[in-house]
Structure 1
Amino acid sequence: MKIYKIERTQQLPISINEAWSFFSSAANLSRITPPWMKFEVTGELPDRMYPGMIATYRLQPVLGITLSWMTEITHMEENKYFVDEQRHGPYRFWHHQHHFKEVENGVEMTDIVHYALPYAMVGRVAHQITVRKKLEDIFRYRHQKVEEIFKQR
């Protein structure tokens, strides 16, 4: 199984509490996901994140094909980090770390995603042709949207 990695860091002019409050709420995920993905939360979400929390979504990542996705929050330390892992969805493996660190002018936020695609060689070709670019587009959109949201404050 070929494991790929994406890592992105962004600095935001907000407090650690404000960053944690926003990013630890799965309800805000749709606000920072590109509209072309037609992302929607399909299950009920609690007010506060906790280890073991399950979140379900529906999205259209490519070619207008609707997929269901289920993630679990597997690790969490408030105001420091949380990890979501796919339990059902389009990837063979998905492990997404969200790290938060106070810095001089706000918060440094780092996303680290390790992922693998199904179907061995077909998955590798799909990764080269489209998957890597789509994920980079998603994180680029997310970066811009987060800057927009927190600069309005």
Structure 2
Amino acid sequence: MKSHQIIFTQNLPIPLSAAWDFFSSPANLAEITPNDMEFIVTSAGSEGKMYPGMIITYKVSPLFGVHLNWMTEITQVEPEKYFIDEQRFGPFKFWHHQHHFKTIDGGVEMTDILTYGLPLGFLGGIAHSITVKNKIKQIFIFREKKVVELFGLYKEK
């Protein structure tokens, strides 16, 4: 299986505690996901804070209007530093998503490290080249714009 990795960094003009509170709450995931994905958190208890072992379920339509069930587990949490989610059931063969946070002058730096693989071998590779890679990039671009809309634009001091 071929794996792929995307690293995305964004600076936010808010305190670390505010960034952590927002991004560590599964209830906020839909707000930073493109509307066309029809992303809905379906698990009970998603209003609370993440913890290791937490299972989060979703309904999502990532491509061509096809609706899928997706399940991830929060495997590691270090409050106000990082959390990791891993797919347990869903569209990917492998999904490991690290979310890192650190204080910087005037705000917080948020870094995502997403490592993933697709099923179907050769066909998965073709799908990645044609659609999946671009769709994932579009999701992060949407999120970047939405986060600026929610929290403002970071300006270096």
TM-score above 0.5: yes
In 2, Cα distance between the equivalents of 1:77 and 1:52?
13
CA distance in 2 between partners of 1:58 and 1:89 (Å):
10
**1:10 maps to which residue?**
10
Is the counterpart of residue 24 in structure 1 residue 21 in structure 2? no
2:50 corresponds to: 49
- Aligned partners of 1:25 and 1:68: how far apart in 2? 20
CA shift for structure 1 position 7: 0.6
Matches within 5 A, 1:10-89: 10-44=10-44, 45=46, 47-89=48-90
Tell me if the contact between 2:26 and 2:48 (Cα under 8 Å) persists in the aligned partners.
Answer: no
What's the CA shift string for 1:29-57, capped at 9, x where partnerless?
A: 00000000000011112512100000000
Q: How many residues align?
A: 152
Conserved in 1, the CA contact under 8 Å of 2:14 and 2:107? yes
2:138 paired with 1:137: yes
How far the C-alpha of 1:89 sits from its partner, in A, is 0.2
- 2:5 partner letter: K
User: Secondary structure at the residue paired with 2:6?
Assistant: strand
Deviations 1:61-80 (A, max 9, x none): 01100000000000110000
RMSD: 1.0
Q: Which runs of 5+ in 2 are unaligned?
A: none
Give the SS at the match of 1:14. coil
Percentage of matched positions with identical amino acids: 55
SS at match of 1:132: helix
What residue identity is the alignment partner of 2:58? Y
Structure 1 gaps of 5+ residues are none
Q: Which amino acid aligns with 2:36?
A: W
2:5·2:116 contact (CA, 8 Å) conserved in 1? yes
Q: For residues 111 and 65 of structure 1, what CA distance do their matches in structure 2 show?
A: 26
Cα deviation code 1:108-143 (max 9, x no counterpart)? 000000000000000000000000000000000001
Q: TM-score, structure 2 length as denominator?
A: 0.95
